[in-house]
Amino acid sequence: MSISFDPDNRLWLLCGATTAYALRLDQDDTVRHVHWGAPISLDQAALLPTRVSPAASSFEADAGVDELTADGGARFGPAGLQVRWADGGRGVEWRYLRHEADDGHLRIELADRYYPLRLTLHYRMRGDVLERWTSVHNLDERDPVTLLRCDSAGWAVPERPDYRVSHLVGGWNSEFQLRRTAVPVAETVFTSRRGLTSHHANPWLAIDDGTAVEEHGEVWSTALAWSGSWRVTLHRDPVGRTTWTGGFGHEGLVWTLAPGERLETPIFAGLYTAGGFGAASRAWHDYVRRHVLPDPDETRPVLYNSWEATGFDVTEEGQRDLARRAADLGAELFVMDDGWFGARSGEHAGLGDWTPNQDRFRYGLTPLAAEVHRLGMAFGLWVEPEMVNPDSDLYRAHPDWVLHMAHRRRTEMRHQLVLNLARPDVAEWTHGWLDALVGEHGVDFLKWDANRAFTEAGWPGADDPDRLWIGHTRAVYRIMDRLRADHPGLRIEACAGGGGRADLGILTRTDQVWPSDNTDPVDRIGIQHGFSQLYPARVSGAWVTDCPNVTTARTTPLRFRFHVAMAGVLGLGGDLGAWSERDRKEGAELVAAYKLIRPVVQHGQAYRLGGSGTLTAVQYVLDDEHVVLAWCPTRRFGHGSPALRLTAVQPDAVYRDLDGGATYPGALLRESGLPLDLPAGDYASALVRLRRVA
Q: Which residues bind ligand GLA (CB under 6 A)?
A: 307, 337-338, 382, 449, 451, 495, 497-498, 514, 517
Q: Tell me how many degrees the CA angle 153-159-161 measures, rounded to the nearest 5.
A: 130
Kind of pairing between the strands at 387-388 and 417-418: antiparallel
CB 549 → ligand GLA: shortest distance, Å?
Answer: 14
Helices (H), 314-455: 316-329, 366-374, 393-397, 424-441
Q: Is 77 helix (H, G, I), strand (E, B) or coil?
A: coil
Closest CA to 240 of 24, 37, 54: 54
CA 374/CA 182 separation, integer angstroms: 56
Residues whose CB is less than 8 angstroms from the CB of residue 541 and which lie 6 or more positions away in sequence, other chains included: 303, 493, 512, 513, 514, 515, 568, 569, 571
**Cβ closest to ligand GLA, residue 345 vs residue 605:** 345
Instruction: Check: CB of residue 116 under 8 Å from CB of residue 96.
Output: no
CA 585/CA 588 separation, integer angstroms: 5
Kind of pairing between the strands at 303-305 and 569-572: parallel
At position 435, the amino acid (one-letter code) is: D
Residues whose CB is less than 8 angstroms from the CB of residue 363 and which lie 6 or more positions away in sequence, other chains included: none
Q: What is the DSSP letter of 289?
A: I
CB atoms closer than 10 angstroms to residue 181:
10
Instruction: Check: CB of residue 126 under 8 Å from CB of residue 284.
Output: no
Residues whose CB is less than 8 angstroms from the CB of residue 78 and which lie 6 or more positions away in sequence, other chains included: 69, 187, 233, 235, 245
CB 111 → ligand GLA: shortest distance, Å?
Answer: 47
Q: Which residue is nearest to ligand GLA (CB)?
A: 338
**Cβ closest to ligand GLA, residue 128 vs residue 384:** 384
Instruction: Check: CB of residue 68 under 8 Å from CB of residue 80.
Output: yes
Instruction: Check: CB of residue 109 under 8 Å from CB of residue 94.
Output: no
- Give the N- to C-terminal CA distance of the chain in Å, as an integer: 34
CB 514 → ligand GLA: shortest distance, Å?
Answer: 6
Closest CA to 3 of 18, 15, 11: 15
For residue 52, how far is the Cα from the chain centroid? 35
CB 567 → ligand GLA: shortest distance, Å?
Answer: 19
CA 141/CA 567 separation, integer angstroms: 56
**Cβ closest to ligand GLA, residue 66 vs residue 523:** 523
**Cβ closest to ligand GLA, residue 375 vs residue 550:** 550
CB 347 → ligand GLA: shortest distance, Å?
Answer: 7
Kind of pairing between the strands at 605-610 and 616-622: antiparallel
CB 338 → ligand GLA: shortest distance, Å?
Answer: 3
Instruction: Check: CB of residue 208 under 8 Å from CB of residue 219.
Output: yes
CB 68 → ligand GLA: shortest distance, Å?
Answer: 36
**Cβ closest to ligand GLA, residue 372 vs residue 686:** 372
CA separation (Å) from 339 to 266, 316, 363, 571? 35, 11, 16, 20
**Cβ closest to ligand GLA, residue 176 vs residue 382:** 382
**Cβ closest to ligand GLA, residue 573 vs residue 642:** 573
**Cβ closest to ligand GLA, residue 195 vs residue 498:** 498
Closest CA to 78 of 228, 238, 243: 243
Catalytic residue among 444, 517, 520, 546: 517
**Cβ closest to ligand GLA, residue 449 vs residue 466:** 449
CB 645 → ligand GLA: shortest distance, Å?
Answer: 37
Q: State phi, psi for 466 to the nearest 5 degrees.
A: -65, -15
CB 624 → ligand GLA: shortest distance, Å?
Answer: 37
Active site residue 328: no
CB 371 → ligand GLA: shortest distance, Å?
Answer: 21
Query: In b/e form, how buried is each residue of 307-319, taking b as 16+ CB within 10 angstroms?
Result: bbbbeeebebebb
CA 666/CA 391 separation, integer angstroms: 63
**Cβ closest to ligand GLA, residue 266 vs residue 573:** 573
**Cβ closest to ligand GLA, residue 329 vs residue 446:** 446
CA 405/CA 395 separation, integer angstroms: 16
Query: Is the preceding peptide bond at 548 cis, omega within 30 degrees of 0?
Result: yes
Active site residue 517: yes
Catalytic residue among 449, 503, 511, 546: 449
For residue 385, how far is the Cα from the chain centroid? 20
Q: What is the DSSP letter of 402?
A: B
Which residues are marked as active site? 449, 517
